[in-house]
């Protein structure tokens, strides 16, 4: 079970890094918000899901 938590945390860290870089670039690029709005909302949803799943799995470890 510990390896599952480690994999989830690694995925969360990598995905967070991608969002930290990608979202400001999208906001700074002219006209990109309209094209990438759904992608950013989907990314935020996936990130929220990863946080919740990691927390749920972490609650099973003593």
- What are the tens digits of pLDDT across the range 42-59? 999 999 999 999 999 999
Domain ranges, residue 40? 2-58
Residue count of the chain: 62
DSSP E strands, the chain? none
pLDDT at 62 over 80: no
The 10s digit of each residue's pLDDT in 2-45 is 899 999 999 999 999 999 999 999 889 888 888 889 999 999 99
What integer pLDDT is reported at residue 61 of this predicted model? Answer: 86
Query: What pTM value is reported for the model?
Result: 0.84
What integer pLDDT is reported at residue 32 of this predicted model? Answer: 83
Instruction: Please check whether residue 47 is in contact with residue 15, taking contact to mean a CB–CB distance below 8 angstroms.
Output: yes
* Closest-CA residue to 54 (of 9, 1, 3, 2): 9
- Overall domain count for the chain: 1
* Dist. CA 43–CA 62, nearest whole Å: 31
């Amino acid at each position: 079970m510990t390896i599952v938590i480690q994999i989830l945390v690694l995925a969360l860290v990598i995905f967070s890094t991608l969002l930290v870089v990608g979202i400001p670039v999208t906001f700074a690029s002219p006209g990109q918000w309209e094209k990438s709005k759904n992608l950013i909302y989907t990314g935020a949803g996936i990130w929220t899901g990863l946080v919740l799943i990691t927390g749920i799995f972490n609650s099973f470890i003593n």
